[in-house]
């Protein structure tokens, strides 16, 4: 009996607080502690009108309180408040540290990340931050006692609080509607950093769309596709596509970067397209979009799933297609063609802790070329320059720019060290692509070769406080959308198929994008189909046989 009495006294000594009061305290905590990026961004948008910013703060605070209070019910309050606090703490870390927006597509990226890739983001500083801003406040919420009103009284009281908060929100909104509407139109991302509400709703949206996507069946595309062989070649036409990862054009010396990050490619007679933009700012968007028939402005994730892609069209034309992956997968692009995920091999020559150097891709190329029987396309999907662990993407012999950041946590590195590590990844990619070209040359007696390299998206390295990638396209900095794109065509293929490489070099400075990729590969492989658009083929304008191929599409 004494033990029970002691427990009761201990419980009674815990401070008691009303459920709405606890909701108010939690709301203030979320807004003041876990929304630094949200408020600083909003303040910059309202910089010319401080009164409107104050009203904006009042409106956001009121609607946040209304949302939190909606979960004020016995047995419900604490679990939901703790969930909000933990979600906000995690979201604010990535928003404040890297400048990212945790929207639906960022949730998609997280969902498809490998364990090794995700592990690079779970640092000691992140764990400490989560402890201080998430777990400790959650323990406080657990500790206090909540005084709940009788059911009917509680329902009336909570409803009154929610209605009052919404009334404040509406009055503020209409009271300064012109200012809010103007800022909202000019800065559509103004609410994108609001924790924890945007990350939570983004997760829900992703979960719902994923369930719907699971039932999508791809519609056939390019079933009329067939090879033309306008060059009259007597050996297989082979194209190797290197799908780059996180390489930004700003750091390619082929495009004018001061550092020599492309010393090998500069000697390979490639055509470099310096004004190329990506379809997205994350792999989960850019890779399927790049291989789809849709231009960026028309592409959606659902369309990508619901329509066959470039690899399917090539297969319809009896071109042998294979995909070797050293990244995080093909995002359904290879659903109907051979696919090999190389990190599963755990080859100790290249792999460590679930990730492999891109040399593992090169290790497979010779064997693949030796077994080519007919017109073929091989896709090599790089791990490339994926951050934040740039140092893990290149071997020591390519550690040329030093001192380089040797940590997953950018907070422990200087800006120079981060840039040095990133540039070393570009230097290593230069070697990977150059070696692919060399291997095609070495097999020139058996195949007529070509190589294409294009990155899926770029990367921010601290410009305007933003790191990594994945920003919403509408507000993404150019560093995340300006990507390297280059092509190499062997002498015999160029001569036989009429590729004028000097002409291509003169036209290389034109605006290009991932929109060109689908049609350029078809043109390079001499595949005729109604799905092909010569206007989007970067080779068509400098190819003697282009008119003949285009006529065959019709």
Domain borders along the chain are: 9-212, 236-553
Model confidence over 482-523: pLDDT tens digits? Answer: 999 999 999 999 988 888 989 999 999 999 999 999 999 999
| Rounded Cα gap, residues 472 and 112, in angstroms | 18
| Rounded Cα gap, residues 545 and 523, in angstroms | 10
Q: How many CA atoms lie within 13 A of 412 on its CB side?
A: 12
Q: Identify which of 263, 250, 242, 243 has the alpha carbon closest to the alpha carbon of residue 422.
A: 250
- Answer yes or no: CATH 3.40.50.1100 is held by domain 236-553: no
Model confidence over 97-137: pLDDT tens digits? Answer: 888 888 888 888 777 777 777 777 788 888 999 999 999 99
| Rounded Cα gap, residues 104 and 206, in angstroms | 6
How confident is the model at residue 337, as a pLDDT?
97
Sign for the pseudo-dihedral over CA of 368, 369, 371, 377: positive
Token pair in block for residue 397: 């012999």
Q: Identify which of 50, 69, 59, 54 has the alpha carbon closest to the alpha carbon of residue 171.
A: 59
Supply the DSSP symbol for 255: G
Say if CB 459 and CB 479 are below 8 A apart. Answer: yes
The per-residue DSSP string of 436-475 comes to HHHHHHHTTTT-EEEEEEEES---EESGGG-EES---GGG
Give the burial class of 78: count Cβ atoms within 10 A of its Cβ; 0-12 exposed, 13-18 middle, 19 or more buried: middle
What's the pLDDT band for 4 if we cut at 50, 70, 90? low
Task: State the average pLDDT over residues 316-323.
Answer: 97
Lowest average pLDDT, out of 93-102, 130-139, 410-419, goes to 93-102
How confident is the model at residue 12, as a pLDDT?
59
The strand ranges marked E within 271-318 are: 271-272, 276-277
Task: State the average pLDDT over residues 404-410.
Answer: 91
What's the pLDDT band for 5 if we cut at 50, 70, 90? low
């Amino acid at each position: 009996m004494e033990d029970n009495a002691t427990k009761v006294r201990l419980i009674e000594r815990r401070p008691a607080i009303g459920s709405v009061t606890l909701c108010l305290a939690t709301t203030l905590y979320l807004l003041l502690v876990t929304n630094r990026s949200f408020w600083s961004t909003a303040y910059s948008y309202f910089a010319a009108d401080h009164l409107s910013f104050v009203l904006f703060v009042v409106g956001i605070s009121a609607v946040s309180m209304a949302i939190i209070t909606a979960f004020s019910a016995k047995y419900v309050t604490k679990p939901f408040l703790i969930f909000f606090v933990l979600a906000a703490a995690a979201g604010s870390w990535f928003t404040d540290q890297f400048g990212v927006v945790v929207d639906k597509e960022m949730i998609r990226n997280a969902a498809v990340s490998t364990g090794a890739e995700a592990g690079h983001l779970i640092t000691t500083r992140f764990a400490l931050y989560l402890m201080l801003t998430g777990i400790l406040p959650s323990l406080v919420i657990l500790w206090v006692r909540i005084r709940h009103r009788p059911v009917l009284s509680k329902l009336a009281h909570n409803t009154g609080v929610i209605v009052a908060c919404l009334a404040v929100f509406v009055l503020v909104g209409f009271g300064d509607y012109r200012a809010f509407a103007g800022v909202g139109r000019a800065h559509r991302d103004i609410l994108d950093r609001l924790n924890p509400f945007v990350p939570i709703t983004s997760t829900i949206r992703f979960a719902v769309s994923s369930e719907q996507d699971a039932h999508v069946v791809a519609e056939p595309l390019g079933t009329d596709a067939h090879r033309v062989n306008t060059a009259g070649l007597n050996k297989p036409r082979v194209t190797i596509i290197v799908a780059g990862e996180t390489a930004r054009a700003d750091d390619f010396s082929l495009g004018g970067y001061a550092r020599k990050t492309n010393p090998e490619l500069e000697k390979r007679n490639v055509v470099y397209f310096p004004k190329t933009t990506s379809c997205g700012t994350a792999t989960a968007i850019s890779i399927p979009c790049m291989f789809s028939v849709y231009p960026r402005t028309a592409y959606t994730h659902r369309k990508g799933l619901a329509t066959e892609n470039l690899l399917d069209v090539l297969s319809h034309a009896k071109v042998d297609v294979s995909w070797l992956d050293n990244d995080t997968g093909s995002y359904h692009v290879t659903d109907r063609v051979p696919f090999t995920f190389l990190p599963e091999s755990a080859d100790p020559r290249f792999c460590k802790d679930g990730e492999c150097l891109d040399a593992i891709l090169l290790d497979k190329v010779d064997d693949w070329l030796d077994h080519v029987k007919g017109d073929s396309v091989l896709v090599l999907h790089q791990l490339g320059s994926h951050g934040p662990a740039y140092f893990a993407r290149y071997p020591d012999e390519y550690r040329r720019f030093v001192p380089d950041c040797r940590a997953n946590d950018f907070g422990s590195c200087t800006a120079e060290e981060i840039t040095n590590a990133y540039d070393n990844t570009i230097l290593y990619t230069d070697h990977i692509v150059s070696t692919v070209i060399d291997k095609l040359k070495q097999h020139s007696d058996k195949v007529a070769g070509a190589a294409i390299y294009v990155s899926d998206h770029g990367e921010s390295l601290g410009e305007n406080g933003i790191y990594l990638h994945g920003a919403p396209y509408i507000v993404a900095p150019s560093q995340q959308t300006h990507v390297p794109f280059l092509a190499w065509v062997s002498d015999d293929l160029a001569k036989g198929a009429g590729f004028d490489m000097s002409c291509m070099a003169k036209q290389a400075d034109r605006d290009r994008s991932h929109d060109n990729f689908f049609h350029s590969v078809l043109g390079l492989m001499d595949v005729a189909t109604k799905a092909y658009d010569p206007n989007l083929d970067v080779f068509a304008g400098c190819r003697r046989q282009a008119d003949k191929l285009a006529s065959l599409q019709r």
